[in-house]
Chain A
């Protein structure tokens, strides 16, 4: 089965440090999403790309978060500097146009 691969699986870091999360979408998928999930807020869309072009990053705090797709096989989400309130599970998902999306297993981030 084709999978969306996310690294790292878990990350514990100190407040103020830079965090980079990576995602390898399924080959051939043209849409990539970054979501954040917390108990309180549920799944929140941070950013999404279509054909590597950013289409919407309005859900992302611009002062500290950035999302990029340097090529079709890699999407990155960076937080600098990280804060305790950023602690959450970050999911990447990919899909082809509108036919449902496949999620990666997520990066569990803890900022202490």
Chain B
């Protein structure tokens, strides 16, 4: 298994849809995880942190399944402005400092 693996997409969904992305990781010692969002030709920006079983922030929910070593990101009532690439991030070797990024899942929300 790769250190961090994501479905590259693209996911093309209509406005208002619910969409979910999964990310698998190989290091069972990892304790904290992150989702970043990256717009075209921009820098990645922190979207959510996941330290225990999950985290919710408005329309966004991140869940962690340690047994199966995956994290998911759920977006409800998707907006046009949600169109971006979503990057899953896992610390390497359990270390908090060294972050490994997945290659991202591209989301396109259509009117």
Contacts and interface: CB of A to CB of B under 8 A. Distances in A.
A27 B103 CA distance: 29
B13 to A, nearest CB: 23
B42 A45 contact: no
B98 A99 contact: no
Contacts of B49: 99-100
A110 interface: no
Contacts of B96: 97-98
Nearest to A59: B98
Contacts of A48: 97-98
A45 B97 contact: no
A104 B110 CA distance: 29
B84 interface: no
B100 A45 contact: yes
Interface in B56-111: 87, 91, 96-104
Interface string B33-46: 01000000011111
Interface of B: 32, 34, 42-46, 49, 87, 91, 96-104
Interface of A: 31, 33, 35, 42-43, 45, 48, 50, 55-56, 91, 97-106
